[in-house]
Chain A
């Protein structure tokens, strides 16, 4: 019996998750639609003045991104847990954190990346300050992987619970707050034509810390949940 290399196992899981997602396209499109609709609600609720909108645009886009990531998190482990393939993954000879990281990468490719691609369009609708576009894209590029990584911990903890949806948001949203604070602060600073390297560096630090530590927490949590 030949042993799969770590890299092969990683890419196998990414491919498998992407293929499953492409066969259920709604799973990719629905969180994105939710993102667009939430952003659309704000100009209707707050009023269409462009000065107000451009002032609150970073916050709106980022909060909508948090919420739509939260909605899509369930997909990460729930169906695999239901049909038993998650247990098979945990039983496989490969280190669990590699498989977990592969699933998180696939999740980011399916939810984070489309979000980044559509964000500039929504920023135009919200009259975001012209000098902030670079900051918006960079914070989303560094920040959305953090959302997937930290969210995975929450899903892994609640996957065994029947009605884990509300609980999931209670667990995950507090962990998202630092990313939200630094991302919106970077975009605001960019709007004033000031350097925003500092905030970006902190988001990058959060990204690397969660990239290295979250997979271990997720695999420990999955072992608890599947018992």
Chain B
């Protein structure tokens, strides 16, 4: 049942156009949610009773950190389906996700440092969660380096996929590091099932920001996925006709 619905998207041309179709929607939604969410978070949400206005970096830091892990998980699932079911397009999407994930990991680390300076009095501390997030960044960079090292794109995808799967072990370590080790980084506030341990007027702007960033990531992935597909299929007739049509449109 599911395969019947999915199998047209194994065709690069179909999924190229599908990604092109959802791209503008994701961009608009991301713009709308982020505008509302960030305005709400920075201007109208109440300040924290202990941390004051400094805590507002939370609205950027936490979505970035959550998405850095989420994108890695997505990349690993894509890598697994490319290795097990030989889906060529899964390679393309894994390749599309790696640099975006690396960027979000970097954002999480930098905003964390900026938050740590006023709160803990230091930019960096060798705390379990910070260290494992740094390892995540190294894993992303390794996957990207491996992608670039091979001439043949499908070999590169498989090799980087194996590395991505080996690195998945790091995800639960990051997630539970604050519970396993009693270190400086505070425990989870948002994702506690049932009741988040923060008040509702702080939680809602966070949720809006998080949804906005998720749409932004989806839009970026669609964009990069399209260019990966074009690169991998540059010799195919449909790509050639696409390019000639584009050139004609520009000539007029």
Chain A interface (Cβ < 8 Å from any Cβ of B): 150, 153, 157-158, 160-161, 164, 167, 170-171, 173-175, 177-178, 181, 217, 220-221, 224-225, 227
Contacts and interface: CB of A to CB of B under 8 A. Distances in A.
Given A157-B159, A174-B142, A220-B162, 15 more contacts: A150-B166, A153-B163, A167-B145, A170-B142, A170-B145, A171-B142, A171-B163, A173-B138, A175-B166, A177-B131, A177-B135, A217-B165, A220-B83, A224-B162, A225-B159
Give 8 nearest A-B pairs by CB, closest first: A174-B138, A224-B158, A171-B142, A157-B159, A221-B162, A161-B149, A174-B135, A224-B159
Contacts of A158: 146, 149
Contact of B149 (A164, A173, A224): A164
25 contacts: A153-B162, A153-B163, A157-B146, A157-B159, A157-B162, A157-B163, A158-B149, A160-B155, A167-B145, A167-B146, A170-B145, A171-B163, A174-B135, A174-B138, A174-B142, A174-B167, A175-B166, A175-B167, A177-B131, A181-B131, A217-B165, A221-B159, A225-B155, A225-B159, A227-B155
A167 B155 contact: no
A173 to B, nearest CB: 8
Contacts of B155: 160, 224-225, 227
A161 B159 CA distance: 11
Interface string B127-154: 0000100010011011001100110000
Scoring B138, B139, B166, B173 by chain A CB atoms within 10 A of each residue's CB, the highest score goes to B166
Interface in B199-227: none
Secondary structure call for the A interface = helix
A175 B29 CA distance: 38
Contacts of A220: 83, 162
Given A170-B141, A170-B142, A161 B83 contact: no
Contacts of B141: 170
Interface in B170-224: 173
Contact of A161 (B142, B150, B163, B173): B150
Nearest to B162: A221
B62 to A, nearest CB: 24
A171 B162 contact: no
A174 B139 CA distance: 7
B81 to A, nearest CB: 14
Contacts of A178: 173
A194 B149 CA distance: 46
Contacts of B145: 167, 170-171
A76 to B, nearest CB: 16
A174 B105 CA distance: 15
A200 B80 CA distance: 32
Contacts of B150: 160-161
Contacts of B142: 170-171, 174
A171 B167 CA distance: 10
Contacts of A171: 142, 145-146, 163
Nearest to A206: B169
B149 A217 contact: no
B166 A153 contact: yes
Contacts of B163: 153, 157, 171
